Amino acid sequence: MQATKKAVENAKETAANIGASAKSGLEKTKATVTEKAEKISTHDPIQKEMATHKKEEKIQQADMEKHEAREHNAAAKISAMAGHMDRAPYSTTGPATKSTDVNGPGSEPAGDGQPMARPTTGMGATAAHGKGSNFN
């Protein structure tokens, strides 16, 4: 039983670490592409230097977050192995105290919280006579 638990926790940690590495790689690529776009759009050498500096900062931030996520995942595995939690909170973004909201910290979720309306046209729509579509 203990060997199985250890194998499962190792697999969870490995998967979370792979996710953290992938996310870090994506952030680095986005920083590089943004830098190139900013360099192309300006002729001012100062603006080009600033774009490079911003890219380097974003790359350092991505590396730091990946490192934090790996440390967090290792701690979660150790804690789970010690029996302190039923489910260890593995992460691809580091400790849970950081916001991963794409809209920025403190932003509201998209939508109004209401259920989506049924489509009035297309494959999921109900025909005007109430018999539904031909795909039923």
Confidence at 5, pLDDT banded by 50, 70, 90: confident
- Residue 95: both structure tokens together: 């400790």
Residue 66 CB burial class (10 angstroms; 0-12, 13-18, ≥19): buried
Task: Calculate the average pLDDT of the chain.
Answer: 77
Cα 53 vs. chain centroid, distance in angstroms?
A: 24
Look at residues 76, 98, 94 and name the one whose alpha carbon lies nearest to residue 19.
Answer: 94
- Is residue 65 a contact partner of residue 93, using CB atoms and an 8 Å limit? yes
Tell me the torsion sign for CA atoms 87, 92, 97, 100. Answer: negative
Give the pLDDT of residue 4: 86
Cα 127–Cα 133–Cα 136 angle in degrees, nearest 5: 140
pLDDT of 57-100, one tens digit each?
999 999 999 999 999 999 999 988 887 555 556 666 666 554 44
